[in-house]
Chains A and B, each alone.
Chain A
């Protein structure tokens, strides 16, 4: 019985190892950084999250909202991120799919390119 279960679970062992590795790396990096990194403080460093969003409440004029440009960038990021998600399985199976797969994936990238062109021309990438 135990032997049988071992067979079933075996494929997931590498996955588990990946998790352990990733977690270990994260813990190591966060723990190690304060000790080995240089310490030069400035204003931006002291902001929350270090990523440009001011926590509310904000001045009355702005209305306490985050700049809309932030969402735009976030959405674009997700879009291209998802493109990557699609590219990965293709890369794995590229040999099986041959020319057909190549054409399809190029079409896919081109169609994402249309959106990219629109965003670029309409100033979605200008950060002011």
Chain B
């Protein structure tokens, strides 16, 4: 009887899976460093934690980057490993590189302790906002250095997410990436209440979306008898099974993914969370989560559902249109800088979806490139937002930005440049990104969608320009915010973003070559 229980029919030939540790090295390094970060938090005294975490983080990115670089020089096409659960192909490597670079920039901002004295993170997050203890800790300069391992865990989750070759791995990665983010949103030093509200909202809605994803996964398993993307693709190719299961599963799965990418009608969390979260975390979310989510969407659509594309294509057309329209129209009336960038990110998600639906090689490479450009621009934009402050912390209301150029021309010029990049003005990376994505979409016969996208970007350009005019032409408010002189970390992060934005606008060739190097391996 015991032996019977131990061997439910057919699974007795369990083999140890092949694991290519070298190929996974960047991912393992980030994960390992996150674990070490937890130990640092456990065993070091408070004052030592910050410097050790910073050193650890820098080393992590250095080694992860190094192993990634070595990987790029070898293996031209890529491989699957861990019994086909991970696919470390060219797009995955490109996305890993993007995530590492953006993550590094965001980590620099997270580590900064000069812009906000003591860092952007609260000393003790568990204290209830508004209580006596909470007011007491506002004066303290400590911070919850747990944010470092949390961010590394999230980053590792993202890296797994974009390389996941089956839906179950993808789901685990989704949770690994989301849970730390929920927590990080609630760690702002100032405005604790809105920060905690953001964390809770993000958590509740994220759990809701995860449920969609999981339900979709279950239905797809019912359809294809497998969670592997390649098997699903095969099943869609030629079976006479009821495809109600397929499309219901696909729809639910997609909703979960679109939520993470803050697309279309699944965007509602974005403005509130972007506004409430500490700005470095917003930068991290705005840049990295977008990359991870679209990396996964690309893989799911191109690998698993390509064969059935003509059935669902127009539904995603509609979603893209809704997303672009919501982002562009609602952006006009925003009065808060962070919310405005949030709506801009929703519009950008629509553009990105455009490239993702173009199920060809150009669609893949152009979307990858767009992700790269968008990530860096957003990162730097939030970096600038964190600099403009008054006595209460960041001054994010647009009226407080009036006449900023008079007080600090450099910051205003940098922010204007970034806004122009978001608007897609030539010689910025934003233009090239839009250009290649629209072209790929057009080649797939999505002419009307491209026209809508052009109109949406025209409308969106209006609210970007409004901010520029506000900064340059309006008289500064009497009690307006001052611009902090950023420390080395934030300066480095902003510089990184601006330089890449400019570089990819002027010489995008090499990055386009990387993005177009090869397709998915599954």
Contacts and interface: CB of A to CB of B under 8 A. Distances in A.
A114 B4 contact: no
Contacts of B9: 11
Interface stretch (B34-42, B249-257, B387-395, B502-510): B34-42
Interface residues of B, number: 16
Nearest to A116: B42
Given A96-B14, A111-B35, A117 B8 contact: no
Contacts of A118: 38-39, 41-42
Nearest to A63: B128
A115 B8 CA distance: 34
A14 B35 CA distance: 42
A70 B386 CA distance: 38
Contact of B16 (A101, A111, A120): A101
Q: Mostly helix, strand, loop or mixed at chain A's interface?
A: helix
Interface in B17-61: 35, 38-39, 41-43
A119 B72 CA distance: 39
Contacts, number: 36
Contacts of A111: 35
Given A11-B4, A14-B1, A114-B35, A121 B14 contact: no
A120 B4 CA distance: 40
A14 B5 contact: yes
A37 interface: no
A122 B16 CA distance: 37
Interface string A26-59: 0000000000000000000000000000000000
B4 A14 contact: yes
B6 interface: yes
Contacts of B35: 111, 114
Interface in A1-30: 11, 14
B233 to A, nearest CB: 29
A121 B14 CA distance: 39
A100 interface: yes
A79 interface: no
Closest 4 CB pairs of A and B: A121-B42, A100-B16, A118-B42, A117-B42
Given A68-B126, A96-B16, A118-B42, 7 more contacts: A14-B1, A14-B4, A114-B35, A114-B42, A117-B39, A118-B41, A122-B41
